[in-house]
Amino acid sequence: MGESLERKPTREEIIQLAFQEGHDADIPSNTGSIKDFEKDPINEKLSNLDFDKDIEKGAPDRSESLSSVEEADDAASQQDPNIVDWDGPDDPQNPMNWTFNKKWGTVILVSAITFLTPLASSMFAPGVPKVMETFGSTNDMLEGFMVSVYVLGFAFGPLIIAPLSEMYGRLPLYHSCNIFFIIFTIAAAVASNMSMFIVFRFFMGCFGGAPLVLGGGTIADLISQRQRGTAMVVWMMGPTIGPCVGPIIGGFLTQAKGWRWNFWFVAIVAGAFVIMSMIIMRETSAVVILKRKAARLQKETGNPKLRSKLDTGLSAQDLFKFAIFRPVKMLTRSWICFLMSLYVAITYSYLYVLFTTFTVVFETQYHWHGGVVGLSFLGLGIGSLLGQTVFTHWGNKTAAKHLERGDFRPEHRLYIMSIGGWFLPIGLFWYGWSVQAQAHYMVPIIGTSFIGFGLLMTFMPANTYLVDVFTVHAASAMAANTVLRSLCAALIPLSSQKMYAALGYGWGNSLLGFVALFLIPIPFLFIKYGERIRARSKVIL
């Protein structure tokens, strides 16, 4: 136990850290929860908000200084002797005080795992025709579903993984999910029929989603806010670039060793990561570390009243309720959450339409074979990387400008989306008609770079907007977005082959482009009316 007189976290710091950890701010994080903040006598003067109501309305201005109130509280209050805290600001048990090598070794390893599991989602895409041949299937729907079923697992796995990590810590979830990921990857490699293969792919996605759920929280546990931006950029490279790099590797691997070696390769690399994680990684969640410390001190002192300062007494039932029911309520009760999630879901599904059809398109139209087919995914990867770079620079620059002026609204995040959204239909038209005309292969690949750029320029601003709008419940809004996005990405590509067969590559991709054009007004709608919609809406969780 230790008495801490450190500066108390602000509301904004609690919300930001909770979101990075992957949960809402009324669930305890490394700095406590928003409920603790609001109950604190210090903060009663600053807020009388009811955070279970009107969650789209945002928060009032909290520009007044906290320093004088905090000083008065430090002088007047005494800490509860039954509260278990860190043993001072330099406590070595606090992950923030770990050595540089231990911290960044963990961050690099987590980032590597986060790169591998999205890479596995599309790595074997160039080998899909070989899989169909192996299992003796000619079903176009199954041909697409065997690739996209992986992201269906992304929709359901995290809903269970997130609350379990709050109860048992991040480390057990990393280890168990990584091991199950390897098991189902090997199972997919040795599958003897299509049904087995698809089921194993689904469970690969369920457990492969763990680093996407836990990684941001691990970085927030370890790295100070000043240095966290660099670590988050490295970590985010995995889900952004991994799915586009995977097919390039998979194309040559399929040619050299057969499609099953895509899965053996992933299993071998994942196995190496598991061994490294068991040696290097330690529990980083302050909530769990202090909970264990309190339990140990209870045994040593015989005092059953000892409890962690971060313990809010949430039951397993409450955690699962928040993880599962809140996102559903947001999708069904909030126009902002639903429309932005719908935009992201439809555009994200286009990525998997391309993943499931690139091999056939470039084999039939350009007579590419073997490992060279994987290079057809290069345009998507370059466009996605460029989109992330542009958004990070210009998106943050726009927000910073308005924050300096003091007139920032969440809708300012959508300015870059209103421009970026045009690149997606342009890329689809370009790609579709150039393939139809069998123009030089570089022409459609350049078109797919526009698609990748447009995807990131809609995907990232929309997510950031949801975070700014829902603040305390940002993680639930993102979970709602993820579920709808993953469902669409798994189901919409099922009809892609039939669409191309009926309409051709030109009109087939033009149909997707027209839908993307139809969605473009959504950010303009919220730029103009978003503040009014938030003021009038009432979303009760």
pLDDT digits (tens, 9 = 90+) for 157-171: 888 888 888 778 889
Q: Best-predicted range by mean pLDDT among 23-27, 300-304, 424-428?
A: 424-428
- Confidence category of residue 283, pLDDT binned at 50, 70, 90: very high
- Confidence category of residue 303, pLDDT binned at 50, 70, 90: confident
- Confidence category of residue 47, pLDDT binned at 50, 70, 90: very low
Q: Best-predicted range by mean pLDDT among 58-72, 86-100, 461-475, 509-523?
A: 509-523
197-201, 341-345, 477-481, range with the lowest pLDDT: 477-481
Polymer length of the chain: 541
Burial 415-440 (b: 16+ CB within 10 A, else e): bbbbebbbbbbbbbbbbbbbbbeeee
For residue 114, the domain's CATH number is: 1.20.1250.20
Has residue 413 been placed in a domain?
A: yes
Q: Do residues 284 and 93 make contact, with C-beta atoms less than 8 angstroms apart?
A: no
Q: What angle do CA 106, 111, 116 make, to 5 degrees?
A: 125
Residue 40 is predicted with a pLDDT of 58
Q: Residue 29: what are its φ and ψ, rounded to 5°?
A: -120, -170
Q: How far apart are CA 312 and CA 290, in angstroms?
A: 12
Residue 71 is predicted with a pLDDT of 44
Residue 48 is predicted with a pLDDT of 44
Q: Do residues 526 and 191 make contact, with C-beta atoms less than 8 angstroms apart?
A: no
Helix or strand (DSSP H, E) at 450? helix 442-470
Question: Which has the higher per-residue pLDDT, 29 or 96?
Answer: 96
In this prediction, residues 490-498 reach a mean pLDDT of 89
> Does 124 lie in the same domain as 201?
yes
* Alpha-helix residue ranges (DSSP H) falling in 371-473: 378-390, 396-405, 415-420, 423-436, 442-470
In this prediction, residues 32-48 reach a mean pLDDT of 57
Nearest to 463 by CA among 419, 413, 424: 413
Residues linked to residue 83 through DSSP beta bridges, in sequence order: 307
- Confidence category of residue 512, pLDDT binned at 50, 70, 90: very high
Has residue 68 been placed in a domain?
A: no
Has residue 14 been placed in a domain?
A: no
> Does 500 lie in the same domain as 438?
yes
Checking if the pLDDT of 62 tops 50, the result is no
Checking if the pLDDT of 33 tops 90, the result is no
Has residue 388 been placed in a domain?
A: yes
Has residue 162 been placed in a domain?
A: yes
End-of-domain residue from the set 234, 262, 282: 282
What's 190's DSSP letter?
A: T
End-of-domain residue from the set 282, 299, 328: 282
Domain that holds residue 215: 93-282
Q: How many domains does the chain have?
A: 2
> Does 376 lie in the same domain as 233?
no
Amino acid making up residue 322: F
Residue 312 is predicted with a pLDDT of 66
pLDDT digits (tens, 9 = 90+) for 345-364: 999 999 999 988 998 899 89
End-of-domain residue from the set 282, 298, 322: 282
Give the chain's end-to-end CA distance (angstroms, integer).
Answer: 36
> Does 356 lie in the same domain as 264?
no
In this prediction, residues 141-146 reach a mean pLDDT of 86
Q: How far apart are CA 446 and CA 450, in angstroms?
A: 7
> Does 335 lie in the same domain as 236?
no
- Confidence category of residue 401, pLDDT binned at 50, 70, 90: confident
Has residue 296 been placed in a domain?
A: no
**Crossing angle (nearest 10°) for helices 140-168 and 335-366:** 140
Checking if the pLDDT of 269 tops 80, the result is yes
Question: Which has the higher per-residue pLDDT, 2 or 255?
Answer: 255
> Does 328 lie in the same domain as 460?
yes
Has residue 414 been placed in a domain?
A: yes
Q: How far apart are CA 281 and CA 340, in angstroms?
A: 36
> Does 254 lie in the same domain as 398?
no
> Does 362 lie in the same domain as 221?
no
Residue 3 is predicted with a pLDDT of 38
> Does 264 lie in the same domain as 413?
no
Has residue 329 been placed in a domain?
A: yes
pTM: 0.83
> Does 275 lie in the same domain as 137?
yes
> Does 272 lie in the same domain as 327?
no
Q: Do residues 25 and 472 make contact, with C-beta atoms less than 8 angstroms apart?
A: yes
> Does 427 lie in the same domain as 516?
yes
- Confidence category of residue 189, pLDDT binned at 50, 70, 90: very high
Checking if the pLDDT of 35 tops 80, the result is no
Residue 79 is predicted with a pLDDT of 60
